[in-house]
Structure 1
Amino acid sequence: MRKTLLCLAAVAALSGCSLIPNYQRPAAPVDATFPQGEAYPKTAAVDASVTAVDLGWRDYFTDPRLRELIQVSLDNNRDLRVAVLNVEAYRAQYRIQRADLFPQVDAAAQGTRQRVPADLSATGQRVISSQYGVSLGTTAWELDLFGRLRSLSEAAFEQYLAGDEARRSTQIALVASVANAYLTLRADEEQLKVTRDTLTTYERTYNLTRRRFEEGIASRLELRQSETQVETARASLAAYTRALAQDTNALTLLVGSGMPADLPQGLGLEEKLVAEVPVGLPSDLLQNRPDILSAEHRLKAANADIGAARAAFFPRITLTASAGTASRQLSDLFAAGQGTWLFSPQIVLPIFTAGSLQASLDYAKIQKDINVAAYERTIQGAFREVADGLAARGTFSDQVQAQVRLVRASQDYFTLAEHRYSTGVDSYLTLLDAQRQLYNAQQTLITDRLNQLTSEVNLYKALGGGWTDVTHRPENGAPADGAGSSTTGSTGGGAGSAS
């Protein structure tokens, strides 16, 4: 028995040969720097010590109301819970696959009593026989001499890491979605307020025009023009009231629970709601973007599958071994001299498989090529998102400032036109044009501010920001049993509550 155990240990020491191809990260199919030009910021902090990943969402968003909503969403959002549970499922699959590297040791106890009739007995007399046994051993343990099981375990581990990065990507997307939904809600609140104020102005002008019409000073055409302005504003008021309710419903869905009643006061769109984030270089995206990291882990998993497909061409050795005691009498089961042992190795060498093994290897290589293309496409998409964000950053500031000046000029234009009309100096057409221009300018300013803020949030997301606990990510080691990867850190929200 001792020689058997030594033989098993020696064979196990020889196992672990890997046929996995050496992994080399594909070259990034993008330029080394982000685009430059008239639409882009003239200066960018490339070597800044703080990146989007280092800047947690609590530090990035300055609106206390928004920060509270993001925290609640991290505690309750169902999509994030699904992402967390998917990570736990991948971890369980990895542990299952990794367990195949080790022998499964089972303890077995059996007992048999059999009555044999006299005409079937060798002695011509009926016989009642008994047999009892206790054994400890393993059945069909595969010696991983060519790394097939190790390759499958490596692939499962990379899938686990890909799932963990997908969870991180889900949280980043959730933070950005809550922020954008909140900003849209605040913008529609301001649009509703502007519409109410405009409706009040239109009604005041309509009442003035109606009195002038009754006195024979204004024409029926002017009266109807003023009335159309009032009804148009009322229609817009109903539309923004509906949009506000729908915005609240969308935000409630993202938050995952009812809107908290004790939310702090929020900031206006004209205030500084977000911090400016340095962009860095495109190469930084390879380390910061969770969707890129997830795609690379899936590529590594496909690379490991090639090793498993290669190993299938070689012999597969399995061992069955056990040791125990056996006896005809239960009382003598553990008596001296009743020991038993079994050692049964088996080797299977594929000879003819009708090309299935080669097809499996070809399939694994094709899957790797597919994952290479998906990885490169993810990088290109990330590069485009950051470039779009930079173009927005380089132009929205000038656009908003110009729109602010237009609102001021339109307000002065309207004030003068209203005064001239009320004193009979000018016609109603001038006042009508001033009213429309002011209302449109105010609406456009709110829209431009919203677009500027959402573009900054999307740039923060595109750079991999929105995550506050990146130090725990498993990169080179296996997940420890019971060490959940589902928490998001002390400031990242209660994603762990999904477990």
Structure 2
Amino acid sequence: MHTECKNARSITIRIRNEIWLRVRLAVEIVTIGLCSGCAVGPDFRHPTSHLPIRYTETALSAHTASSPTAQGQMQTLIMGRDIPGAWWQLFRSPVLTQLVTTAIRNNPGLEASRQALRNAEEVTLAEYSGLSPAVSGSFSRTRGNFPLAPSGQPNTSLSYGYYDAHLELSYNFDVWGKTRRTIEQQSAQADFQRAQLEAFLLTLTGNVVSTAINEASLRGQLAEQQRLIIFERNYLRTIQNQFALGGATATDVALQQAQLGQQEALLPQIKTELAQARHAMAAYLGATPAEAHVPILDLATLELPTDVPVSLPSALLEQRPDIRQAEANLHAATAGVGIAIANRLPQFTLTGDLGSEATRAGELMTPGNGLATLAMQALQPIFQGGNLLHQQRAAVASMRQYAAQWQQTVVGAFQDVANALVQLQNDSWQLAATLATEQASARALSLAQRQYQLGGVSYLTVLTSEVTYQNAAIALVRARAARLADTAALFVALGGGWWNRQDLPPPPSDVLHSLLPWSHS
């Protein structure tokens, strides 16, 4: 009895070894085929474009004009200097830095972009499973009976039961690289999500800074408007006193009353714009207007960056998130061509099954109860009404479409930077001209008031001087804010320095990534 058990055990071991030898041989064949096989379709290469040596049509001065007023310093454009990741700190405003930091921490849209990136990375890693064999196990217990009536024994049945244990293996030979192209496509989509996160972060920080500057500008305009209204009220009392003494006409009083009413009517409009700016800031901070508690930012507390870093044109392709998004779309479309071609070629699949059936669980894998299969299948599409051919042509058209969109995105990026650079130069001249206008109109108004009191000019002259001065005072506040806002717009147009930030999630690390063909392109 001991000898029979020993022989049975020996036979079982030999069967297992033989089966696993075949499975191992098949896996080795698959691995060799995978390593030596090529992926059909075009291999992706980073797109290139002819890049100019400068951003604008004509060379711009490296220095802007200066004015003796707040935000009127001369700016120096430093070509080739890298943009800091926290570029908003160049304005040297603790309140502005606090706003941006809060927005990055609490904005729900940014968190949604982070999770979308995480999703894409996990889906990419899940696609790697196609490079490995799939192994699954099953265990079942079956009970049943069958009637014995056909044998002449009616109303009688025989029950039976057995255990079933199986280990199943399947593997799709990636002969044409369809699996690798699928991984490549999904990896490109993950790159798109990463660039989208960078773009959202850049847009968010840019909007926070521009909205804060706009709010500070509106607050300055409101203060200037209130000062002008006080001036108009005081002057109305002066005209009324003169009218009582016979030194002014009723027309002069009516004109001054109309002027005061016009200035007071501008207050609600400015207050509405200011409230809307604060509501927008609350949304960027991820809160409702009633709960945001947005700190007040004064325009005078914002310093104009005097040294302005400007990236070289050759670096813009890597720095602009929208260009990286367009490149990722092109990469995914290029891989899609390979997938479409592979779908028209034969698909090879290896399947294996190792199992045992027995009436008792303890008899599983004993001699006579084991079974094993190893099969190879080839599937070749023969006729599908031109479906696969047209899908391949559609994939090629999609690749060419994204290539053109990439080129268009590059052109638009250079346009944005050129516009921002020209705007910086013109802002400095505009501020100088506006300051000169404000100073001259203030002197003209003072002289007109003195001459009117002496009877040398009519009140219409005073009124015209008032309107000119008031418009110039408001324009000066806007010109100061414009220099700040357009400097921020230049940083955004250059990519915002996201590559120098540490708060973006790193890309997924996987040893298989180094084995894929596009990782070396």
**TM-score of the superposed pair, with normalisation by structure 1:** 0.88
| 3-state SS of paired residue (1:278) | strand
Per-residue deviation, 1:444: 1.1
Q: Distance in 2 between matches of 1:123 and 1:304?
A: 67
Q: Which moved further from structure 2: 9-18 or 161-170?
A: 9-18
Partner of 2:73: none
Specify whether residues 315 and 221 from structure 1 end up closer, same or farther in structure 2 by C-alpha distance, changes over 3 A only. Answer: same
Q: 1:209 aligns with which of 227, 230, 239?
A: 239
Per-residue deviation, 1:155: 0.3
Per-residue deviation, 1:472: 8.7
Partner of 2:61: 41
Alignment of structure 1 residues 39-118 onto 2, 5 Å: 40-42=60-62, 48=80, 50-52=81-83, 54-118=84-148
Q: Distance in 2 between matches of 1:131 and 1:121?
A: 23
Partner of 1:396: 427
Q: 1:430 aligns with which of 443, 461, 472?
A: 461
Q: 1:21 aligns with which of 27, 35, 42?
A: 42
Q: Distance in 2 between matches of 1:121 and 1:319?
A: 44
Q: Distance in 2 between matches of 1:438 and 1:370?
A: 55
Partner of 1:200: 230
Q: Distance in 2 between matches of 1:187 and 1:196?
A: 14
1:415-445 CA-partner distances (Å, limit 9, x unpaired): 2222333344432122212211111001111
Does the 8 A contact of 2:113 with 2:196 survive in 1? yes
Q: Distance in 2 between matches of 1:27 and 1:309?
A: 25
Q: Distance in 2 between matches of 1:270 and 1:416?
A: 33
Q: Which runs of 4+ in 1 moved over 4 A?
A: 42-47, 120-125, 258-263, 468-475, 477-481
Does the 8 A contact of 1:72 with 1:255 survive in 2? yes
Q: Distance in 1 between matches of 2:62 and 2:152?
A: 103
Does the 8 A contact of 2:172 with 2:347 survive in 1? yes
Q: Distance in 1 between matches of 2:157 and 2:301?
A: 102
Residue 12 (str. 1) matches residue 42 (str. 2): no
1:284-340 CA-partner distances (Å, limit 9, x unpaired): 111111111111111111111111111122210112212132212233225455332
Partner of 2:318: 287
Q: CA RMSD in A?
A: 2.6
Larger Rg: 2
Does the 8 A contact of 2:62 with 2:77 survive in 1? no
| 3-state SS of paired residue (1:100) | helix
Specify whether residues 185 and 45 from structure 1 end up closer, same or farther in structure 2 by C-alpha distance, changes over 3 A only. Answer: closer
Q: Distance in 2 between matches of 1:233 and 1:6?
A: 90
Does the 8 A contact of 1:325 with 1:339 survive in 2? yes
| 3-state SS of paired residue (2:308) | coil
Q: Distance in 2 between matches of 1:46 and 1:279?
A: 6
One-letter code of the match for 2:41? I
Partner of 1:492: none
Specify whether residues 72 and 183 from structure 1 end up closer, same or farther in structure 2 by C-alpha distance, changes over 3 A only. Answer: same
Q: Distance in 2 between matches of 1:315 and 1:434?
A: 86
Q: Which moved further from structure 2: 161-170 or 414-423?
A: 414-423
Partner of 1:3: 22
Q: Distance in 2 between matches of 1:474 and 1:307?
A: 30
Alignment of structure 1 residues 249-328 onto 2, 5 Å: 249-257=279-287, 261=293, 263=295, 266-269=297-300, 271-274=302-305, 276-328=307-359
Identical counterparts, % of pairs? 24
One-letter code of the match for 1:22? D
Does the 8 A contact of 2:120 with 2:186 survive in 1? yes
Q: 1:358 aligns with which of 368, 389, 404?
A: 389
Partner of 2:197: 167
| 3-state SS of paired residue (1:464) | coil
Specify whether residues 114 and 401 from structure 1 end up closer, same or farther in structure 2 by C-alpha distance, changes over 3 A only. Answer: same
Per-residue deviation, 1:240: 1.1
1:443-462 CA-partner distances (Å, limit 9, x unpaired): 11122222222211111001
Q: Which moved further from structure 2: 423-432 or 457-466?
A: 423-432
1:236-276 CA-partner distances (Å, limit 9, x unpaired): 1121122111111111111112566594x745258524464
| 3-state SS of paired residue (2:39) | coil
Partner of 2:12: none
**TM-score of the superposed pair, with normalisation by structure 2:** 0.85
One-letter code of the match for 1:453? L
Partner of 1:489: none
Specify whether residues 377 and 121 from structure 1 end up closer, same or farther in structure 2 by C-alpha distance, changes over 3 A only. Answer: farther
| 3-state SS of paired residue (1:132) | strand
One-letter code of the match for 1:402? A
Per-residue deviation, 1:414: 1.8
Does the 8 A contact of 2:427 with 2:479 survive in 1? yes
One-letter code of the match for 1:154? E
Q: Distance in 1 between matches of 2:26 and 2:276?
A: 71
Partner of 1:245: 275
Q: Distance in 1 between matches of 2:293 and 2:304?
A: 22
Q: Distance in 2 between matches of 1:336 and 1:472?
A: 61
Per-residue deviation, 1:113: 1.8
Q: Distance in 2 between matches of 1:121 and 1:426?
A: 133
Partner of 1:184: 214
Q: Distance in 1 between matches of 2:152 and 2:505?
A: 67
The structure in which a higher percent of residues are helix is 2
Q: Distance in 2 between matches of 1:7 and 1:204?
A: 98
| 3-state SS of paired residue (1:393) | helix
Instruction: State the structure with bigger RCO (CA 8 A, min sep 6), 1 or 2.
Output: 1
Does the 8 A contact of 2:130 with 2:179 survive in 1? yes
Per-residue deviation, 1:8: 2.4
| 3-state SS of paired residue (2:30) | helix
Q: Distance in 2 between matches of 1:158 and 1:122?
A: 71
Q: 1:129 aligns with which of 160, 173, 177?
A: 160
Specify whether residues 267 and 363 from structure 1 end up closer, same or farther in structure 2 by C-alpha distance, changes over 3 A only. Answer: same
| 3-state SS of paired residue (2:131) | coil
Q: Distance in 2 between matches of 1:301 and 1:425?
A: 78
Does the 8 A contact of 2:91 with 2:302 survive in 1? no
One-letter code of the match for 1:26? P
Does the 8 A contact of 2:350 with 2:375 survive in 1? yes
**What 5-or-longer segments of structure 2 have no aligned partner?**
1-18, 64-75, 512-521
Partner of 1:349: 380
Q: Distance in 2 between matches of 1:270 and 1:75?
A: 24
Q: Distance in 1 between matches of 2:500 and 2:312?
A: 22
Specify whether residues 424 and 270 from structure 1 end up closer, same or farther in structure 2 by C-alpha distance, changes over 3 A only. Answer: farther
Q: Distance in 2 between matches of 1:142 and 1:71?
A: 49
Q: Distance in 2 between matches of 1:81 and 1:121?
A: 73
Does the 8 A contact of 1:57 with 1:467 survive in 2? no
